[in-house]
Structure 1
Amino acid sequence: MSMELLFCKSKVFVHPSKSSQDNIPGFLIITLEQGQPRQECVLAWVPESALDKKQLNWLYHADLTLGKSELQKLKMGPGTLGGISSMAWSFSIKLGYLYSIEFRVPSPTGLWHGSVILHSKSPQEDDTLPVLFFHDKACPSTERKMKELNKSFDPFTSSGDIYWGGIDFRSSVASLVDLKQTYVDPTVWLVNASLDDLRNFSPQLMQRRLSEGKAKTEVGSSNLWDKWEAAKWGFMTRVADATSKTGSYMGSLIRKHPLVMLAEKNGNNPYVKKLLENPRVQEVQDDFDSARVYLAKWALGVKQQADQYQRTHEIGDSYRKALTKELGFDSQSDVQFTEEELSRALERKFPVSKQKWESFFDSQGRISLTVNEVKDFIFHGGIEDFGTRKEVWLFLLGVYPWDSSSDEREQLDQTLAEIYNNNYKSKWLNRSTHPDAQEEEYWQDQLFRIEKDVKRNDRNFDIYKYNTPDGSAPETKETEDPSEGDKTEESEHWSIKNPHLLSLKNILICYNIYNPNLGYVQGMADLLSVVYYIVRDEALSFWCFVNFMDRMERNFLRDQSGIRDQMLTLTELCQLLLPQLTEHLNKCDSSNLFFCFRMLLVWFKREFEFPDVCSIWEIFLTDYYSSQFQLFFMLAILQKNSQPIIQNLNQFDQVLKYFNDLHGTMDWSDLMTRSELLFIRFKKIMEVMERKSEIEENIPNNDGGKTTGVQLHDFEIEDNDNQTLPCASKYLQLLLSKKLVVQRENPRAKDSIK
C-alpha cells in the first residue's frame, strides 16, 4: 500500500558525542499509510547516509514543498524510502505511542541548537530514541521561513514562541494528535494525554501540593512525597535523565524548572530538603547555572507569563474560597469534601477537541478508553467545536454503541437511514385518509401543531432563518424574512421551503408515528431543533431524537406526572441543601417552585444562549453522576440567586418575574461547577444520614424506645410517626442512580386529547 508523507524536515541531527565532527545529519519525517486513521501516523528519523542520491533529492524537495503549508502531503511509492529502517541511529515510532515531547528552544545567540526529546510510553523503547537537534541555518525550509518572518519584523510565531525548526514539527504533530503543553514545565507537551495526566500537571494542583507540604512538614507528614510520586515524578526524572541519551553538553542543558525554583526559595524547608535528596533533582540543580544564561535573555517574557499566572491563580483561589463558603463546606459539619473533589469541579480547561476525540479510538475505530473516562472528559471539559460535537452526540444519544467499530457505524448509518425512510417517512408521505373521522381529525390537528411550532421555532439560528429552498439569505426583500416582518409569514399560512425546517417537520411527524401514544406536545420542537442543528442529517437526527425522548418523554405526559415528580424531587432537595431559601420561599407562597417548571421542561434552553445550551446538554447526557443531573443544575441556579431573593423578594409574583427575567444573565460554567459540588454534598449527606440512622436505631432513648432522629451540624431532622428521614425518600434515592428514569405515556384513547 502506498504511503503519504505528511511532514519532512531536513538537517535534523543526532549528536552521538561532544565532538561536532561526530554529528549525524538526517531527515525527520511523518508518514501515514493511505486509508489509515491519523493515530497510525509513524514518526521516523532517517540518516542521510542511508539514502541514495535520488532519495536525498526527493526528501529535500519534500522539505521545501511541505514547508509551505501544513495541509499539504506527498504520495510515496513503495520503494521511495525502502531499505533504510535497519540503519544505525534510525528509528520509527507511531505518534500514538509517544507519552510526551520536550521542545528545547535554541539559543538566540546561536550558542546551542534547538532540540527535541521524545518520550515513549514504554520505558524500554524510550531508551532507543535519540535527542534530535535542529540545525536551522542548514535547513532550507527553516531558512526560507526565517527570511519571510524577518521581512515583516516578526521573529515570533502566532503563539508567541521564537521561531525555529521545532515549531514546524510541533505544529504538524498537533494537527495529527492531541498535543497539550504542561504548566509544570512549558517545554514539555503531552501526547494524547489522559485526563489524570492533564490534572496532575495543572498549576493549581502543583501549587496546592506545595502549600500542603508546608503545612504537613510541621508535623512530620510524608504524605506529600507520595503525592509527588502520584504526580508523575517518574516522568520528571526521565526529563532530567535526558543527558544519558547524548554526549553533547549543550544537549544536557535543563531550563529553569519548578523544582529548581522551589529549591532556591525554600532551601531551609524540611519538606524541600527531603525532595532534594532525590539524585535526579540534584542533576537538575547542577545544570541550572548554565540554563540561567538562556533564561536571562528572555526575562521580560518569563515575567509577563508569571504575572499572568499570578493574576489567574489569585482569582481562582478567591473563587475557590467563595464556593467553599457558599456551599456550606467551610463549617465544622459532618460533611466535608476533599481538595481533589473541589479541584476536579473547578478544573474545566481541557475540552474535547477533534484531535483529542480521535485519540480515543484504536486502528479499528473502537474507543480504547473506558466509557467512564470518555464521559469524564466531556463532563469536565465539554466539547470544543460543533464538528466534533456531532460525532460525540451520536454516542451520547445512544445511536452509536460505545463499543462499535468504524465499519459497524458505517453499516449502522445505512440501516438506520433505510428504516427511517421506509418505515416512517414514506408511511406518512403516502398516508391515505383514515376511515375514522375522529382519528383523521386528530391526525390533522397533530400536523397543524407541528407545522405551527416548526415555523416559529429558533428562527434566529442561521440554518432556520430564511425560508428559501436552499436556506440561504434571499437575494431580494420580497422573499420571506422574519427579521423584516414579512406579511406572508405573519399570516401563519405560508408553506415551508427551508430544507432544515422541512427536516424538523418530517422528523416530528415520523416520531408521531413512532410514538403514537404521546403525540406532539409543545416544547418537543425546542428539543429537536438543537439536536438537528448539531447532527445535520435527517435520519440520524430522528434516531437521536427517539433516544433523547426516552429520557424526556416524562416531561410531556398528559397528566404531568413526570414533571411533577421532578418538581417534588427538587423541593425535597432544596429543603435538604438550601433550608434558608426554602423557608423564605414558603413565606412568598412559592414553596412549590412553580417558577422552575419551564426551565426543567426543555432543559434551560430559553435561559441560555445556544452554544451554552449545547455545553449544558452534553454534560447532562453523560449521566456522569446522575441521570437527573438537571435537577442539581436547577438547584445551583436557586443557590446562586438565594441571597438576592431572601433579601429583596417577598411575593409570589416577584419571585416568578425574577426567574423569568434571568435569560442571558447567568454563567453556565459557574453553575455547572456549583452543580457538581452540590451533588457531592448531597451524596455525602445521604451517606451520613444512612450511617447515623443505622447506629441510632439501636440506641435506647429515655422512654425505653429507640432514637430515630438524626442530628447533623448543618441541620436537624427529627423523625415522628408521620415523617421519614430524607435518606429514605424514593425521590432523593433515585438521584444517586445513573440509570435513566423512563416514564411512558398511557395508551391513547379517542378522548385523550381534545
Structure 2
Amino acid sequence: MKLLLCKSHVFVHPSTTASENVQGFILVTCDANRPLHEAQLHWVPENSLNQNQIDELMRCDSKLGMPPAAATAASLLSAATNLNDGVLLDTSGAYLSFSLPIASLFSIEFRPPSTSGWWFGSIVLHRRQGAHGGTLPVLFFHDNVCPSTMQKKRDLNKNFDPFTQGEMYWGGIDLRIVVSQIVDLQRTAADNNMWLVNATLDDLRNFSSGDLPSETNLAAEGSGSGSKGSKDNAPGFWDKLEAARWSIMSGIASATSKTERAMASLVSNHPVVKLVEKNQDNPYVAKLLRNPKVQEIQDDFDSARIYLAKWSLGVTEEANKYKLDHQLNASYRQLLTKDLGYNVDTDADFTEEELNRAMQRNFPLTQQKWDSFFDAQGRLQVTVHEVKDFIFHGGVDSMALRQQVWLFLLDVYPWDSSRDERAQIDATLEEVYTQHKAQWGHRTSGRAHSADSGSGEDDSEYWKDQEFRIEKDVKRNDRSVDIYKYNTPNGLAPESQPRSAMDGVAPKIEDGDDDNDGDDDDDDSTNGHWTIRNPHLIVLSNILKTYNSFSPNLGYVQGMTDLLSPIYYIMRDETKAFWCFVHFMDRMERNFLRDQSGIRDQMLTLTELCQLMLPQLSAHLDKCDSSNLFFCFRMLLVWFKREFAFDDICGIWEVLLTDFYSSQFQLFFMLAILQKNSKPIIENLDQFDQVIKYFNDLHNTMDWRDIAIRSELLFVRFEKMMALMERQEELQTDQADQAMVIDGDNESVQQGTVPLPQGKRLPIHSPLLQQLLSKKMVIQREETRTTDSVR
C-alpha cells in the first residue's frame, strides 16, 4: 500500500468528557496496482498500535501531512511512501476504527474550527445509500498538537499568507486537498461546508438550487433584500437600462449624413448617457465603458446603421457577461424569459427545471469525475447519457482530459469497451494508419492507378494537385495558436533556434494572416514558396493526405484543415488525431459534397426553423433580401470555427458532439446566434450588404456560454411546439371523425368530406424539422469520383 496522507492527533469524541476522547491517525492509502480513484480512507486509533508503528506514522505525518494547495494526483503519487501492512492489520476491528473507499462516500462535511478556539475543526463522513457499514464517527482535528498542522501554520504566517484558497487554514483542508485529487469533490451552494463526492448532475443541481431562485423569490431578490445588497443587483439601474435599450442609437441611425462631431453631441446629450454618467460607480457600467471592444465599436463609423447594431449588441453582450460572471441569476433569467419566452399562442412555456438546467453550466467534467465513471476493468459503470449530460452542460475541464473524452465522443473507442480492449484498438488503428499513410506516396509517384476513380488511368497529377491544396491551407492554419505559430523544426520561436536550422525558414505569419477564405492564388508567403518545417504543421499535412487516400471519392476541400486543427491540438498524437478526424468527417462529410446537397439541406432546415421560431426576424430578413440565410453558410460549414476563439471552439464542439438533444444541434446553436442578434438587425439594418457585413464582423464578439444556454432553451421550446401541433392535429382529426359519425345517416356525407381547418402546412409535416428531433447522426457520402468530377 502507498500512503498519500497521514495526519496525526485526529480524535473521536465519544462523549462530552474530554478524558474519553480517542486519539488516532487519519490515513489515505492506495494500492500501487489499482487506479488512484479506488484509494481508501482510514482512521486508526493510536491505542491499538505499538510504539514502532506510532513512531513510523509520526514520521509520515511530518512528511505527508502538509500537501501544497496546488498538489496534483501525480505529485501526490510521487511523494507517497510505503505503508507497513501491520498498521492496518493490527487496527482492523479496533474500537471506532474504520476503512472505506473514498468513492463510497456521498459527501463530506468540512466544519472549520472556531476562530476563538471554542471548538475544534471536524469532518463528518456520509456514506452513499446502500453502502455497507454503519454510521461513521465524527473526526476532530486537534490542530494545536498536530506537528504537521502547526508547521504549516508557521510557514503560512512566515509568508504572510495564513489562508488557503480564501479560507482559514486548519488540518481538514489538507485532507480535502488530497481527496480532491482522488475523486471529484464539489462544494454545494446550499451549505458551504458540504462537499459532494463524485456527485451526479442531478445531485449537483439539487444542492445548488439556492443560487437559482424560483419565480416566487425573484421579487424578493430584486428588491435588494438579499444578503449581497450590492448596487449592481438593485433593480432600478437594470430596469432603466433595459427600458431605454440604448435608444440613443435610433437617433444615430437617422443621422447618417451628420458629422462625427454632431453624432458625439447627440450621444452626450441623451438621457441614457446621462444615466450612465450618474451610475459610473456601478461596477457593470465601469466594466462596460473601459471594455476595448465597446471602445473600438464606438470609434467605428464606417456605417451609421451597422455602427448602431454593433454598438447596441456590444452593450447587451457586456451586460449578459456581467450577469453570468456575477451570478445575477434573477436578472439573467428575466432576460432569457423575455427574449425566448415570447407568446406563440401555445402553452409551451419554460418550466423552472428547464430554466435551471439550461443555466447551470458551472459543473465541468473533471479528471476525478471522469475516472469515477469507470470500474476496475476500465468499463463505463454509468449510463452514456449521464456522461454526456456532464459534457453538454459543463464541458470538459482541461485539454488533457479532452484527450481521453474526445476519443469516446468521436466513437474511436466504444462506450462499452474495457481498458484492455482500448489498448488493442490503439494497436490496430496504429497499424491501419501506417498502411493508409504509405499509399499516399504511391499515388503521387504515379505507381498507383486510380481504380477507385473508375478511369483506369494514371491520375498522379490529380493527387499532386490535392497535395498542393493541402499544404497551401496547412501553411495558413491557425497561425496564432502556439504550436502552429512558428515554422521552425521544433515549433519554437526563431530566436531560440540554432542559426543553421533557420536557413530557408519562412517568417512567422502574424495574427490575421491565417484567413484561408481567399482564392487559390494567394500571396507568395502561402503559395508553396516555402517548405513546412513546423512538426505540428507537418503532422496536419500528413493526416490530411492520408485521409485523402483513405476517402478518395471526397478529396480535399478547403475547410477540412479548420476541422482537423483543434482535434490535433487536443490529441497531440498523429494516429489518434487521424482516427478522430475520420469519425468526425463521418458527420461533417455532408458539408463538403460536390453538389452541396448536404449543406443545402441544413440551410433549408435552418430557414424553416427560423420561420417557425423567429418569425419577426425571418420576415425582416426577407425584406433585406437575406431570407436564404447565406451569411450562415460559413458558420455551419466549419462549425463556427472562425467566429469564436480557439479555446471556445473546443467547448462548443464537444457540446455538439454529444448529440444530447439532437444530432443537428449546430442548427439550434446557429438559431441562438440569430436570436441573440435579431433585435439590432430588425431595428437598424435593411440592406443585404449590411446584413452580410454585420455577421462577418461577429468574430470574437459573442459569449458562447450564453449562446449555448439560448440554444438549449430554443430546442426545448421547439420540441414543445412540435408536440403541441401534433396534439392539435390529432384533436382536429378526432373532431372530424366524430362529425362523420353524427351525420352517418346522411347519404350526402361521404368519408373525407368533413374538411380539416384550412391553412398553411403545419411544420410537423416538414421532414427537415422532424429530423431535428432525432439523435441519430445524419450521414451523407460523396459519390464515386471520376475523371470528369468537378472540383
TM-score bin, normalised by smaller chain:
0.7 to 0.9
2:417 aligned to which of 404, 411, 427: 404
- Specify whether residues 68 and 732 from structure 1 end up closer, same or farther in structure 2 by C-alpha distance, changes over 3 A only: same
For the pair 1:726 / 2:739, whether they are aligned, the reply is: no
Question: Aligned partner of 2:93: which letter?
Answer: S
1:337 shift after superposition: 2.1
Question: Aligned partner of 1:472: which letter?
Answer: L
1:335 shift after superposition: 1.7
- Specify whether residues 31 and 210 from structure 1 end up closer, same or farther in structure 2 by C-alpha distance, changes over 3 A only: farther
2:214 alignment partner, SS class: helix
Which residue matches 1:61? 59
On the 8 A contact 1:6/1:73 being kept in 2, the answer is: yes
- Specify whether residues 502 and 345 from structure 1 end up closer, same or farther in structure 2 by C-alpha distance, changes over 3 A only: same
1:119 alignment partner, SS class: strand
2:186 aligned to which of 168, 177, 180: 180
- Specify whether residues 415 and 185 from structure 1 end up closer, same or farther in structure 2 by C-alpha distance, changes over 3 A only: same
For the pair 1:350 / 2:363, whether they are aligned, the reply is: yes
Which residue matches 1:18? 16
1:546 shift after superposition: 0.6
Question: Aligned partner of 1:734: which letter?
Answer: Q
On the 8 A contact 1:181/1:189 being kept in 2, the answer is: yes
1:470 alignment partner, SS class: coil
Which residue matches 1:166? 172
CA distance in 1, matches of 2:699, 2:389: 28
CA distance in 2, matches of 1:707, 1:655: 43
Which residue matches 1:659? 695
- Specify whether residues 317 and 569 from structure 1 end up closer, same or farther in structure 2 by C-alpha distance, changes over 3 A only: same
1:736 shift after superposition: 0.2
1:341 shift after superposition: 0.7
CA distance in 2, matches of 1:730, 1:555: 19
Which residue matches 2:110? 103
- Specify whether residues 438 and 587 from structure 1 end up closer, same or farther in structure 2 by C-alpha distance, changes over 3 A only: farther
1:48 aligned to which of 27, 46, 49: 46
1:592 aligned to which of 617, 628, 649: 628
- Specify whether residues 331 and 512 from structure 1 end up closer, same or farther in structure 2 by C-alpha distance, changes over 3 A only: closer
2:438 aligned to which of 426, 439, 449: 426
On the 8 A contact 1:698/1:706 being kept in 2, the answer is: no
1:542 aligned to which of 543, 562, 578: 578
Q: What does 1:313-324 align with in structure 2 at a 5 Å threshold?
A: 315-324=328-337
CA distance in 1, matches of 2:141, 2:384: 41
CA distance in 1, matches of 2:35, 2:195: 22
Which residue matches 1:751? 788
Q: What does 1:482-561 align with in structure 2 at a 5 Å threshold?
A: 482-483=508-509, 489-490=525-526, 492-561=528-597
- Specify whether residues 162 and 209 from structure 1 end up closer, same or farther in structure 2 by C-alpha distance, changes over 3 A only: farther
Q: What does 1:250-399 align with in structure 2 at a 5 Å threshold?
A: 315-329=328-342, 333-399=346-412
- Specify whether residues 126 and 79 from structure 1 end up closer, same or farther in structure 2 by C-alpha distance, changes over 3 A only: closer
1:152 shift after superposition: 3.3
Instruction: Choose 473-482 or 318-327, whichever is displaced more.
Output: 473-482
2:125 alignment partner, SS class: strand
Give CA deviations for 1:296-347 in whole Å, capped at 9, x if unaligned. Answer: xxxxxxxxxxxxx999887211111111111134676332221101111111
Which residue matches 1:637? 673
1:154 shift after superposition: 3.1
CA distance in 2, matches of 1:458, 1:29: 48
CA distance in 2, matches of 1:444, 1:123: 64
1:491 shift after superposition: 5.5
1:483 shift after superposition: 3.7
Give CA deviations for 1:159-192 in whole Å, capped at 9, x if unaligned. Answer: 1111111111111111111111111111111011
Which residue matches 2:31? 33
Give ranges in structure 1 of 5+ residues lacking alignment: 215-257, 259-308, 710-717
- Specify whether residues 531 and 708 from structure 1 end up closer, same or farther in structure 2 by C-alpha distance, changes over 3 A only: farther
CA distance in 1, matches of 2:218, 2:632: 41
Question: Aligned partner of 1:94: which letter?
Answer: P
For the pair 1:201 / 2:207, whether they are aligned, the reply is: yes
TM-score, normalised via structure 1 length? 0.82
On the 8 A contact 2:49/2:87 being kept in 1, the answer is: no
1:546 alignment partner, SS class: helix
On the 8 A contact 1:347/1:380 being kept in 2, the answer is: yes
- Specify whether residues 547 and 124 from structure 1 end up closer, same or farther in structure 2 by C-alpha distance, changes over 3 A only: closer
On the 8 A contact 2:66/2:174 being kept in 1, the answer is: no
CA distance in 2, matches of 1:609, 1:131: 48
On the 8 A contact 1:204/1:313 being kept in 2, the answer is: no
Q: What does 1:564-583 align with in structure 2 at a 5 Å threshold?
A: 564-583=600-619
Question: Aligned partner of 1:362: which letter?
Answer: D
Give CA deviations for 1:404-454 in whole Å, capped at 9, x if unaligned. Answer: 112211221111111111x20122235541466661111111111111111
Question: Aligned partner of 1:12: which letter?
Answer: V
2:528 alignment partner, SS class: coil
CA distance in 2, matches of 1:742, 1:124: 45
On the 8 A contact 2:112/2:121 being kept in 1, the answer is: yes
1:185 alignment partner, SS class: coil
Give ranges in structure 2 of 5+ residues lacking alignment: 221-226, 228-321, 450-455, 515-522, 741-747
Question: Aligned partner of 1:316: which letter?
Answer: N
Which residue matches 2:661? 625
1:12 alignment partner, SS class: strand
For the pair 1:470 / 2:476, whether they are aligned, the reply is: no
- Specify whether residues 597 and 312 from structure 1 end up closer, same or farther in structure 2 by C-alpha distance, changes over 3 A only: closer
1:381 shift after superposition: 0.5
Question: Aligned partner of 1:185: which letter?
Answer: D
- Specify whether residues 318 and 330 from structure 1 end up closer, same or farther in structure 2 by C-alpha distance, changes over 3 A only: farther
1:490 shift after superposition: 4.9
1:213 shift after superposition: 14
CA distance in 1, matches of 2:143, 2:477: 58
- Specify whether residues 314 and 503 from structure 1 end up closer, same or farther in structure 2 by C-alpha distance, changes over 3 A only: closer
Give CA deviations for 1:555-589 in whole Å, capped at 9, x if unaligned. Answer: 00000000000000000001101111111111111
For the pair 1:138 / 2:148, whether they are aligned, the reply is: no
On the 8 A contact 2:212/2:356 being kept in 1, the answer is: no
On the 8 A contact 1:324/1:330 being kept in 2, the answer is: no
1:82 shift after superposition: 3.4
CA distance in 1, matches of 2:203, 2:371: 18
1:641 alignment partner, SS class: helix
- Specify whether residues 528 and 313 from structure 1 end up closer, same or farther in structure 2 by C-alpha distance, changes over 3 A only: closer
CA distance in 2, matches of 1:312, 1:19: 48
Instruction: Choose 333-342 or 631-640, whichever is displaced more.
Output: 333-342
- Specify whether residues 117 and 429 from structure 1 end up closer, same or farther in structure 2 by C-alpha distance, changes over 3 A only: same
Q: How many residue pairs are counted as aligned between the two chains?
A: 646
- Specify whether residues 547 and 173 from structure 1 end up closer, same or farther in structure 2 by C-alpha distance, changes over 3 A only: same
1:83 alignment partner, SS class: helix
On the 8 A contact 2:29/2:41 being kept in 1, the answer is: yes
CA distance in 2, matches of 1:562, 1:312: 38
- Specify whether residues 585 and 382 from structure 1 end up closer, same or farther in structure 2 by C-alpha distance, changes over 3 A only: same
- Specify whether residues 123 and 457 from structure 1 end up closer, same or farther in structure 2 by C-alpha distance, changes over 3 A only: closer
On the 8 A contact 1:395/1:402 being kept in 2, the answer is: yes
1:384 shift after superposition: 1.3
On the 8 A contact 1:4/1:74 being kept in 2, the answer is: yes
Question: Aligned partner of 2:787: which letter?
Answer: K
Q: What does 1:60-79 align with in structure 2 at a 5 Å threshold?
A: 60-69=58-67, 70=71, 71=76, 72-79=79-86
